[in-house]
Structure 1
Amino acid sequence: MDAAPFPKADGLHRWFPEGWRDHELLDCGAGSKLERFGDLVLIRPEPRAIWDRGMTESDWRRISAAEFVPTGRTKGHWEPHQSVPDNWEIRYPLTDTQHLHFSLEMTRFKHVGLFPEQAANWRWMANRLGPGKSVLNLFAYTGGASLAARATGADVTHVDAIKQVVTWTRMNMELSGLDGIRWCVEDAMRFVERELRRGNQYDLIVMDPPAWGLGPKGEKWKLEEQIGRLIRASAGLVAQGGAVIMNTYSSLSPSSLENFWRAALPDAAIEAGELCLRSGAGQVLPTGSLVRVTRA
C-alpha cells in the first residue's frame, strides 16, 4: 500500500527587512544575540535563539561594546566592554531620497529604542500610503512606523501610554526632518473604543501590543486576555480597502492572530507569518508573529 502523500501546506510567510546599513545581526545563539547598531556592537538576551552560536563567546566579547545582564524578569543593567555613549544616532533608507533617523540609548529594559526587523513593514507601508491617507499607530513605542507613514505625506496618529516614549518619538521625527504627527499619550484600548463610538476610520492601523503592561492610569494589560476585544474593536476602525499590520512579541502564533482577524473581518485578505532577521553566520532568527490584513 502506497503511503498517503503529505497534504500541501499553505505556508506561513517569513519577512526580512531590507536596506539596513546601520544595523546588522552578526550572530545569535545560546540564548543571546550579537548586533551592530551604527558603530556599536551589543550583546542582548534572545530567548528564541536556542541553537549554538556561529562564533565563539570570546569573539563576541572581544568585538562588543556592551552586554545586557538581566537582574529580574524585565530589567537589568549594561556591562560595558569599552567606552560607550549615552546615546547615538542611526538612520534607515526608507526610499532613495528619504531617510528615517533614530536616537538610540541602552535602557534598563534591554531595549535600545528600535526593533530593526520592523523595517520590513515600513517599506510595505511606504508603497501603499501617500497624502490624504490616514494612519493609526497603536502601542507605538519610539515610532518607526509613525515616521515611515508620515514620510509618505499620510496623516498619522501616534498612540502610546508612556509619555517619555512619545517624547523620544518626537525627537526621532525632528531628526528625520518630519513634522505634523498627532500625539496621544493614552491607553490604546481606551483610545480605540472611543474612536469606534465616534465613527472614525483609518486607511492603515499599525499595532504592536505588548505581552503585558500597565496603562497611564494603572490599567492592567495581558495580551492573551485582551487581544480578542482589541481586534474586534480595531476591526471597526478599518476603512473600506484599508489595512492592518499587527505584530506581537509574545507566545501567540501567526495562525492564532490570523484566526482572530478572520473572525473579525471575514472577507479580508490575510497574510500571516514571522518577522525575521538573518545573521551574518546564516541563522534565521524569528523575532515575532505578524499578520497583514487588507479589508475588501
Structure 2
Amino acid sequence: MIYFHPKMNAKTDLEPQLLYPQSWSEYELLDCGNGYRLERFGVFRVIRPDAEAIWAPALPEREWKAIHARYIPAPEENGGHWEKIKPIPERWQIHYKDLRFWLQMGGSKHLGVFPEQAVQWDWIQEQIKAFAKPVRVLNLFGYTGLSTLAAASIGASVTHVDASRKAITWARENQILSGLENKPVRWLIDDALKFVQREARRGVTYEGMILDPPKFGRGPKGEVWEFYKLLPELLQVCQAVLSPQPCFVVLTAYAVKASPITMYYAIEDMLKGKGGHIEVGEVALKESNPRGRLLATALFARWTYQKRGEEL
C-alpha cells in the first residue's frame, strides 16, 4: 500500500494506484470487451454494457452465449431493459465475507452492488479497527448500504443518507439479511447536501465519512445534484461536520470527466491541517480468464489518520 501526506509535492509523490477485489467466490468478471462485461453473480451469468471495455473479448463466443440474462441499453443515453435468456429469479442473494445482500434486476443495469467497492469495505473496516475511539460514520449517497453495513458490523455507529426510498428499503433488507438489525444505523431519505448543512448547524460531527456522489441525480424533493457544480460545496460543509479527531474519509466518483489528481486536491482541501495520509487512484475489476485484464470502474481518494509509515 502506498501512502501520501497532504503536504507532499504532488508532481513527484502523487502516484495513483489501482485497487481491485480478489478471492471473492460469489463474483467474477469472467470477461469483457466490445463494450460489455460478462459477469457471474452467485450461480447466475449476466452481460452488462460498459463503455470502458473497448478491446476484443478474451473468451470464445460460446462463453458469452452461456448466460442467464443481458441488459439491453436504450438507443438514447439513459434507459434500457433486462432480457432473460435462461431461468433467473428477479431477486437472489450473494455474500461477501460476513455481508449478505440482495441482488435484483430492474430498470437499471445495476443489480444492487458495485463489486469493485469490496476493496473499500475492507479498508473502512481496517481504519475503524485501528482507531482507539468509537467511530461515528456518515455515509452519503449510500445506495443499498453495503459500506454502511461493513462499518456497522465492526462497531461503528452509522448515519446512512440516500435520496431514494427504494434504495433505503433495499439497504434495510440487506441489514436484516446480514444479521445486523441490532447495529446502530440510522437510515435517512434525504438530500445529501441539505442534510449535511443541517448537521453542521446542529453541531453534529463524525469520525468517518463515505461519499459516493453520482454524476447527476435528484433529491427526494426534486433537488438537483451535479457533480462538478456541487461537490466543492458539499466537501466544504462536510469539513464542518468532521470530528476534530477524524478516522477516515473515502470519496468515490463514477462516470465523470475527472482524474485521481482532481480527487486528490478535492479531499486535500477538506482535510487540511489534519496530517495523516491521502491515497488516490482507481478501483477496478480483474478478469478471471487467462488474460487477467483490469477493467477500470471509478476514481477514488481516501484519507486516513494513520501517520506515514504506520502499518494498519
TM-score normalized with structure 1 length: 0.91
Alignment of 1:110-129 (within 5 A): 110-129=109-128
Question: 1:197-230, CA deviations, whole angstroms, 9 ceiling, x for partnerless residues?
Answer: 2221111100100000111101111111111111
Q: What is the Cα deviation at residue 10 of structure 1?
A: 4.3
* Residues 30, 52 of structure 1: 8 Å contact kept: yes
1:263 corresponds to which residue?
269
Q: What is the Cα deviation at residue 181 of structure 1?
A: 1.3
Residue type of the alignment partner of 1:175: L
Measure, in 2, the Cα distance between the counterparts of 1:8 and 1:228.
Answer: 25
Which of 272, 275, 278 is residue 280 of structure 2 equivalent to?
Answer: 272
Q: Secondary structure at the match of 1:291?
A: strand
1:64 pairs with 2:67:
yes
1:185 pairs with 2:182:
no
Relative to structure 1, the CA distance from residue 43 to residue 157 in structure 2 (aligned partners, 3 Å threshold; closer, same or farther) is same
* Residues 135, 207 of structure 2: 8 Å contact kept: yes
1:241 pairs with 2:246:
yes
Q: What is the Cα deviation at residue 126 of structure 1?
A: 1.3
Measure, in 2, the Cα distance between the counterparts of 1:292 and 1:107.
Answer: 31
CA RMSD, Structure 1 to Structure 2 (Å): 1.7
Residue type of the alignment partner of 2:284: C
* Residues 26, 95 of structure 2: 8 Å contact kept: yes
What stretches of structure 1 move > 4 A for 4+ residues in a row? 7-10
Measure, in 2, the Cα distance between the counterparts of 1:260 and 1:24.
Answer: 32
Q: Secondary structure at the match of 2:172?
A: helix
1:4 corresponds to which residue?
none
Segments of 5+ residues of structure 1 without an aligned counterpart are: 1-6, 94-98
Measure, in 2, the Cα distance between the counterparts of 1:56 and 1:186.
Answer: 46
Question: Which structure has more RCO (C-alpha within 8 Å, separation ≥ 6)?
Answer: 2
**Bigger CA drift: 187-196 or 51-60?**
51-60
Q: Secondary structure at the match of 2:111?
A: coil
1:156 corresponds to which residue?
158
1:283 pairs with 2:293:
yes
TM-score normalized with structure 2 length: 0.87
Q: Secondary structure at the match of 1:225?
A: helix
Q: What is the Cα deviation at residue 8 of structure 1?
A: 6.1
Measure, in 2, the Cα distance between the counterparts of 1:92 and 1:265.
Answer: 31
Measure, in 2, the Cα distance between the counterparts of 1:19 and 1:156.
Answer: 27
